[in-house]
Chains A and B, each alone.
Chain A
Amino acid sequence: MNSIRLRPLSHLFLALFLTFAAVGRSSAQTVGAAPAVSKEGVVPGATAAAAPAAAAGATTGDAAAIAAGDALFKGNCAQCHAINDVVVGPALAGIAKRRPISWLIPWIKNSSKVVASGDEYAVKLYNQYGKQQMPSFQLSDAEITSIISYVTAEEGKTAGPASTQGTGIKPADGAETPGVGAESTSSKYIDILLIVLVVVLIVMVVTLVIIANIMKDVLRGRKDLDGRDVEQLEQRFDFAKFYKSPVVRGLAVGIFALVVLYESVQGVMAIGLTQGYQPTQPIAFSHKLHAGEHQINCAYCHTSVYKSKSANIPSANICMNCHSQIKTESPEIKKIYRAIERKQPIQWVRIHNIPDLAYFNHSQHTQVGGIECQTCHGPIQNMEVVYQYSALTMGWCINCHRETPLNTKGNGYYNNLVKLHQTANGAAPFTVSSNGGTECSKCHY
């Protein structure tokens, strides 16, 4: 009887375990997918890399031209222009219809010259946007054409979803929506499942109690029971005995000790860890607004992330590139003006602190390794206030070095090493650690 009763229970536990495991994995997947979401947002040197495919002078729907234009747009224009919104300069949707390409090319190359020439439209535009000059860009005609192709292609794409959302803000990214959706549907499904299971459990318990009582009543009604049977039937659970039992007491003390030990070990291990650290910054700068909504390339502000050990905090003059014109009345922006006037640099609170004994180099990871910013910094494009996303422990570093395949593609440094690795290890992945990436003096010196 006992065994029969236990079997459904064990099945229940198994089912519960599997569900939790599945939930865990699916959320892990969403985290893993996040970097890919904003991939374009961190492409280095978009200007140099993009090869315009379109012929000069004619906008095309050619995919290559649009892709090239995309990179160029994000590298050069996105700081001041959006497709559907006025940022610093006008929204660019419909630009190809408003002005001919023959006007746009000289304008982008040297707008002040066009204004000086007395072009009516140009002067009007200049006055309309607070007499602020658009900087000149050293782009080729073909490059400009591809940017306009991209803008034309984008305006068609964004018209639909923008209107359905009705907020006027361009959705963060097309790919992200299904990701979020998948997460929410899966969690809803789990909730329902859990509720159903709990209900089933309660029903089962109630049913069992009822059955037991009925059976007891039936037995009491019978007269042929001897004294021992009656005793057994009328037996009550003796809590005092249970409480005083050395086994129970021992177990309780043991479990308590284990819990305390576990908690203190966890506590000690967490000393110095600041995962989730989210200090208030002197200026309420929002990465969500800048990196997320406006899609400003990370390297636009963190200029040395691809070339230096440090991904420097931008200096105030970088803020001024845009904010000399945009939102000049905001109290937060005024703090920057004050800092500049008083010549007192802004004292940001440092979030990611690696101990002095460990050497970390951004360029090694971004430029050579090709790792996205989000891999370590998390969904920075969604953070209103930045927090420390990763644990930044040595175990976290080492784990990644063990699992991540080296980014050897097209890098002459690794050519021979890849060959050697393949002859020695066949198809086993050529990870960072198999190239010595977990040796002490790679990070400690």
Chain B
Amino acid sequence: MQESPKYWKGIEELESSPEFVKTALSEFGEFLPMKEAYGTSDATVAPRRDFLKLMGFGIAAATLASCEAPVRKAIPYLNKPEEVDPGIANFYASTYFNGTDYNSVLVKTREGRPIKLEGNPESPITRGGLSARAQASVLNLYDGGRLQHFAIKGQKAATDKVDQEIRTKLAGVTGRIAIVSNTIISPTTKKVIAEFAARYPNTQHVQYDANSSSALLRANGGVLPSYDFSKANVIVSLDADFLGTWLSPVEFAKQYVTNRKVSSTKKTMSRHFQFETALTLTGSNADVRVAAKPSEMGTIALELYNEIAGTGSTQNAKLKKAAAELKAARAAGLVVSGSNNVAVQTLVAAINQALGSAAVDLASPSMLRQGDDARMVQLVNDMNSGAVGAVIFYNANPAYDHPLADKVKTGIAKVPLSISLNDRLDETGSLCYYACPDHNYLESWNDYEPKRGYLSLAQPVISPLFATRQAQDSLLTWAGNPQSYYNYLKASWRGVLTGDFQKAWDAAVHDGVAMGTLSAAAPAPSAPAMSVQQAVSALSAAPKGSGVELALYEKVGIGTGSCEANNPWLQELPDPVSKATWGNYLAVPREMAVTNKWEQGDVVKITANGKSIELPVLIQPGQAKGTVSIAIGYGRESAGKVGDKVGANVYPMAMITANGIQYANTVTLEKTGSQSPIAQTQTHHTIMDRMVQVVQESTLAQYVKNPKEVTEYEKIATPDGLEAPNKVSLWDDYEYKNHHWGMAIDLNSCIGCGSCVIGCQVENNIAVVGKQEVINRREMHWMRIDRYYSSDHHKDEFETKGKLDTYAAMEDPSDNPSVIFQPMMCQHCNHAPCETVCPVLATTHSSEGLNQMTYNRCVGTRYCANNCPYKVRRFNWFSYTSNEKFENVNGHMFTDLGRMVLNPDVTVRARGVMEKCSFCVQRIQLGKLEAKKQKRRPKDGEVVTACAQSCPTEAIVFGDMRDPETRISKLLRREDGERAFHVLDTINVQPNVTYLTKIRNTEKSAFSVEENA
């Protein structure tokens, strides 16, 4: 039997706070949107005369406008490129790398405009997966905040003039020349830098990472191991958010999930222990999660090492268990750590070595982090001491994202020649004398080597939009090499491609990836920075943490806050766990909030390193006791309209130690008395307390015992006995002759990363609404990922504790809840409640099983949204494309530049109409048409929705349920009666979306007392 835990979506729901109760009962936050919470005067006073005047004018204008249709132009090419046909999308392989996250992508272009990114299935690394950040990066191309020309002291200047001045100054520079960049994984770019250094011999290239992994590098002798989570059956992670942000999340998620998928023929799963401070995406997916303070991570690493070495005597039961399982797994065990402490990383490396872990590969190391904290700190000091004569910033913004930002700022002022190659006048760029903006990556040629032996190419998919120049071309020009970077790149690849070069090059450009290496020969593995003994003694001697500990973490959407900060899609992407958008916050454990009498949204002053910031409090279940967490990447000053002044910058609170940058500190907290609401999407979509039927989960043990018992199917009492709900119906069933589109979502594979949410938003031209509207619960995402926390108590305790006490206990928040993610979009019900209430038939059922939404018929009664049990319909309260209030957040729909990103096949919805997931009907129609043109039936996999397409873990399967040979039909046949269930099955709306029960690899239950005490 399945246990029936009580799920709750947030503290407010658990506590049944008055606001929650008030809002939970109504579908819409406020009855009428006329009076804005953030105040405008026009709506509050609308005198009758103004109304009449406006009406008169309106009628006159409408009459005049209808007299003559506007003349529209059709402007063809002068010389049409052979492969471009208006109306047909072209796909080009390219590569996304923003300094942290590598993805091989396919760029979808229409009429020469990139409009969407999809994963490149040819890539052996990301294998068709794509992160949310990469999905959203297409908007960065059309970002109006980019610098559109070369500049001297912020003023527009001619490229030639800038070049001439820079070359003269470089020739006469005294002191060192420093090129500062994030990690560069492009071998040819490094070659360009080397050529520059050859021309100016006193050049030094300093790489640093905003979220540094230099300890991991140093502990492994200067190389970053590459990991293969598919080879690991027991995974222990010490604060490494490898599914969300750590090193290469898409690659890791793909690998991780291969051992997490179960079926009646494969009843095995990997086991995942997570020790962490904040509740991260990875921790949410772990089988066993232990909340620990940052200062305890060293001890945990040490104890784990001792246990593995056989000398352990830890009191921590879960750690003991983890160690025992690792030992049993031997080569199939893997320990990873996100710590930037060399001692911890040394021990982690030692543990993996002791296990002989097959999942760690040092032979083809990862290149994704090369930053060296010590060198960067040294450079900052040198800049201030005047030893640096020239500094060039390439894709680096240390004036914002380095803990020593203040010193960086003073340092730049002291350097005689400062050049920024950044794409905008950001915090660093605006301080530099010269700005020579780089192309966006979609306008550039480049190559990448994310892992030794794995090459990847980027090709331009659009002519440069602005008068910018690729950074490599700038460096080549200044180095006196007249060659274009494209030719340089091709020449550099001559060595690696075999056979006919042109042919091989064309193939590489076509595929976007190639095998081979362009990096310098691997240096003889240098000795690790620390021996194991040294690490052990360093950790034993480490002082115990005191006071409130602050942990800094990276968010899945915003990352380190570089180019993502000015991307409204990412700002509005809800954090997978807290579901907060637009800004960071102080995540505190419940206990701390209660002791200090803090309520959610209370602004608290946080002081560390002599600096203070103010942020609102968010009560975060699962946050380690005595700790608080803040996300980096916010509080930008000159990112652009969208990203400026969102949240607060917490980089200055990181600690610089001899060990590298530590993303933790001891802080003092002080209530300010003011309030600042946090824009969360989490409690906005209640399911009216009908929780049992919403999301289901079970344990592997039960699944192994009997797969038919892991899912609970509710029955309805009828005169003939208990029946499945779909046997009792008032309605006639539809007959699907042609197609019957359906979707299956495996809750076991879904890690909650949010890639699908962004994929959907890009594909379907979904508006961004901004912080205030999210607070008003009017976000427009067609797809959301519901996150349910669970607590330990359940109805089994009725007999022992009594009903009242049990219910009371259910309301007690768990300090370390289990988390379950559930993607939720229109369920395309066969007996859809929305269809029957629409007075104008704007929402109807199609002969292919789709619940169609016809915008031009909708009059905006919102009956459908009120009648939808899944709360997936979204109403256009405003004209998000023209109302000035949304110009900052949804600006890309206001300008011709930004509108280039819109999908021309999908209508931009007007104010006053309802919208919702359409199952990407434009893709269905296209797939069918292509099949018809070729006079055949569509093949399985040809028609996929944007969410299914972008899912890195293939949790979402879409297809034709009428064709018995499709993946979805086979899956549903296999899982019928086992894991397949419909959400809210008892109300018998017969959704076309089926979910598969989540299985956790815990001995007993995820919620049992032993596991989560």
Say yes or no: A353 contacts B69, CB within 8 Å. Answer: yes
Measured CB to CB, the closest approach of chain B to A102, in angstroms, equals: 35
Measured CB to CB, the closest approach of chain B to A43, in angstroms, equals: 16
Measured CB to CB, the closest approach of chain B to A397, in angstroms, equals: 13
Given contact pairs A272-B69, A411-B932, A413-B936, A313 touches B87 in the complex (Cβ within 8 A) = no
Digitize B68-79: 1 where CB-to-A-CB distance is under 8 Å, 0 elsewhere.
Answer: 010111111111
Given contact pairs A304-B88, A412-B935, A436 touches B738 in the complex (Cβ within 8 A) = yes
Residue A349 is within 8 A (CB to CB) of chain B in the complex:
yes
Given contact pairs A303-B85, A340-B78, A410 touches B935 in the complex (Cβ within 8 A) = yes
Say yes or no: B75 contacts A357, CB within 8 Å. Answer: no
Residues of A near B857 (CB, < 8 A) are: 440
Residue A348 is within 8 A (CB to CB) of chain B in the complex:
yes
Say yes or no: A444 contacts B907, CB within 8 Å. Answer: yes
The A408-445 residues at the B interface (CB cut-off 8 A) are: 410-413, 417, 420-421, 435-436, 439-442, 444-445
Residues of B near A313 (CB, < 8 A) are: 74-76
Residues of B near A411 (CB, < 8 A) are: 932, 935
**Complex: how many Å from CA A419 to CA B852?**
27
Say yes or no: B905 contacts A359, CB within 8 Å. Answer: yes
**Complex: how many Å from CA A348 to CA B937?**
39
Residues of A near B933 (CB, < 8 A) are: 307, 363, 367-368
Residue B844 is within 8 A (CB to CB) of chain A in the complex:
yes
Say yes or no: A348 contacts B846, CB within 8 Å. Answer: no
Residue B737 is within 8 A (CB to CB) of chain A in the complex:
yes
Residues of B near A440 (CB, < 8 A) are: 844, 846, 852-854, 857
Residues of B near A339 (CB, < 8 A) are: 78
**Complex: how many Å from CA A348 to CA B78?**
12
Residues of A near B935 (CB, < 8 A) are: 410-413
The A279-321 residues at the B interface (CB cut-off 8 A) are: 279, 303-304, 307-310, 312-318
Stretch at the interface among B357-365, B370-378, B431-439, B918-926: B918-926
Residue A325 is within 8 A (CB to CB) of chain B in the complex:
no
Say yes or no: B844 contacts A348, CB within 8 Å. Answer: no
Digitize B51-89: 1 where CB-to-A-CB distance is under 8 Å, 0 elsewhere.
Answer: 000000000000000100101111111111000011110
Name the CB-closest residue of A to B842. A440
**Complex: how many Å from CA A330 to CA B832?**
64
Residue B931 is within 8 A (CB to CB) of chain A in the complex:
yes
**Complex: how many Å from CA A315 to CA B111?**
14
Given contact pairs A350-B72, A444-B854, A435 touches B738 in the complex (Cβ within 8 A) = yes
Say yes or no: A315 contacts B86, CB within 8 Å. Answer: no
Say yes or no: B846 contacts A314, CB within 8 Å. Answer: no
Which among B66, B74, B85 has the greatest number of chain A C-beta atoms within 10 A?
Answer: B74
Residue A242 is within 8 A (CB to CB) of chain B in the complex:
no
Given contact pairs A312-B86, A349-B72, A436 touches B79 in the complex (Cβ within 8 A) = no
Q: Which of A317, A421, A441 contacts B852, CB < 8 Å? A: A441
Residues of B near A436 (CB, < 8 A) are: 738, 846-848
Residues of B near A421 (CB, < 8 A) are: 737
Residues of A near B848 (CB, < 8 A) are: 436
State how many residues of chain B have any CB contact under 8 Å with chain A: 45
Say yes or no: A439 contacts B847, CB within 8 Å. Answer: yes
Measured CB to CB, the closest approach of chain B to A330, in angstroms, equals: 19
Residue A343 is within 8 A (CB to CB) of chain B in the complex:
yes
Say yes or no: A308 contacts B85, CB within 8 Å. Answer: yes
Residue B850 is within 8 A (CB to CB) of chain A in the complex:
yes
Name the CB-closest residue of B to A313. B76
Name the CB-closest residue of B to A268. B66
State how many residues of chain A have any CB contact under 8 Å with chain B: 53
Name the CB-closest residue of B to A439. B846
Identify whether the interface residues of A are mostly helix, strand, loop, or mixed. Answer: loop
Residue A232 is within 8 A (CB to CB) of chain B in the complex:
no
Residues of B near A274 (CB, < 8 A) are: 69
**Complex: how many Å from CA A348 to CA B918?**
35
Residue B354 is within 8 A (CB to CB) of chain A in the complex:
no
Q: Which of A312, A348, A357 contacts B73, CB < 8 Å? A: A348
Q: Which of B78, B850, B905 contacts A441, CB < 8 Å? A: B850
Say yes or no: A445 contacts B69, CB within 8 Å. Answer: no
Which among B72, B848, B857 has the greatest number of chain A C-beta atoms within 10 A?
Answer: B72
Say yes or no: A272 contacts B907, CB within 8 Å. Answer: no
Residues of B near A444 (CB, < 8 A) are: 852, 854-856, 907
Residue A174 is within 8 A (CB to CB) of chain B in the complex:
no
Say yes or no: A439 contacts B852, CB within 8 Å. Answer: yes
Given contact pairs A312-B85, A413-B936, A317 touches B78 in the complex (Cβ within 8 A) = yes
Residue B929 is within 8 A (CB to CB) of chain A in the complex:
yes
Residues of A near B724 (CB, < 8 A) are: none
**Complex: how many Å from CA A314 to CA B77?**
8
Residue A121 is within 8 A (CB to CB) of chain B in the complex:
no
**Complex: how many Å from CA A436 to CA B925?**
12
Residues of A near B737 (CB, < 8 A) are: 417, 420-421
Identify whether the interface residues of B are mostly helix, strand, loop, or mixed. Answer: loop
Residues of A near B906 (CB, < 8 A) are: 445
Digitize A327-360: 1 where CB-to-B-CB distance is under 8 Å, 0 elsewhere.
Answer: 0000000000001100111111110010011010
Q: Which of A317, A344, A349, A412 contacts B74, CB < 8 Å? A: A349
Residue A265 is within 8 A (CB to CB) of chain B in the complex:
no
**Complex: how many Å from CA A272 to CA B857?**
17
**Complex: how many Å from CA A267 to CA B933?**
41
Given contact pairs A308-B87, A435-B738, A315 touches B80 in the complex (Cβ within 8 A) = yes
**Complex: how many Å from CA A359 to CA B376?**
55
Residue A256 is within 8 A (CB to CB) of chain B in the complex:
no
Residue A209 is within 8 A (CB to CB) of chain B in the complex:
no
Residue A361 is within 8 A (CB to CB) of chain B in the complex:
yes
Which among A304, A313, A440 has the greatest number of chain B C-beta atoms within 10 A?
Answer: A440
Residues of A near B69 (CB, < 8 A) are: 272, 274, 277, 353
Residues of B near A309 (CB, < 8 A) are: 86-88, 905
**Complex: how many Å from CA A49 to CA B742?**
38
Q: Which of B72, B87, B929 contacts A304, CB < 8 Å? A: B87
Measured CB to CB, the closest approach of chain A to B700, in angstroms, equals: 41
Residues of A near B937 (CB, < 8 A) are: 412-413
Residue A110 is within 8 A (CB to CB) of chain B in the complex:
no
Say yes or no: B73 contacts A315, CB within 8 Å. Answer: no
Name the CB-closest residue of B to A308. B87
Say yes or no: A445 contacts B907, CB within 8 Å. Answer: yes
Measured CB to CB, the closest approach of chain B to A272, in angstroms, equals: 7
**Complex: how many Å from CA A404 to CA B737?**
20
**Complex: how many Å from CA A65 to CA B476?**
63
Say yes or no: B856 contacts A346, CB within 8 Å. Answer: no
Say yes or no: B85 contacts A279, CB within 8 Å. Answer: no
Say yes or no: A350 contacts B74, CB within 8 Å. Answer: yes
The B618-638 residues at the A interface (CB cut-off 8 A) are: none
Name the CB-closest residue of A to B66. A271
Residue A364 is within 8 A (CB to CB) of chain B in the complex:
yes
Measured CB to CB, the closest approach of chain B to A321, in angstroms, equals: 12
Say yes or no: B74 contacts A357, CB within 8 Å. Answer: no
Residues of A near B86 (CB, < 8 A) are: 304, 308-310, 312
Say yes or no: A345 contacts B88, CB within 8 Å. Answer: no
Digitize B898-933: 1 where CB-to-A-CB distance is under 8 Å, 0 elsewhere.
Answer: 000000011110000000001001100100110111
Name the CB-closest residue of A to B937. A413
**Complex: how many Å from CA A444 to CA B69?**
22
Say yes or no: A307 contacts B85, CB within 8 Å. Answer: yes
Residues of A near B846 (CB, < 8 A) are: 436, 439-442
Q: Which of A317, A353, A363, A367 contacts B79, CB < 8 Å? A: A317
**Complex: how many Å from CA A318 to CA B76?**
11
Name the CB-closest residue of B to A356. B907
A sample of 18 more A-B contacts (CB under 8 A), given A274-B69, A442-B846, is A271-B66, A279-B71, A308-B88, A310-B86, A312-B76, A317-B77, A339-B78, A346-B75, A348-B73, A364-B932, A368-B933, A412-B936, A417-B738, A436-B848, A440-B853, A441-B850, A442-B925, A445-B922
> Can you list 16 A-B contacts with CB-CB less than 8 angstroms, sorted by A residue number?
A304-B86, A308-B88, A310-B86, A312-B86, A315-B80, A317-B79, A317-B80, A345-B75, A357-B855, A361-B929, A363-B933, A367-B933, A412-B935, A413-B928, A439-B844, A444-B852
Pairs A-B, 6 closest by C-beta atoms: A309-B87, A308-B87, A441-B852, A436-B847, A315-B80, A310-B87
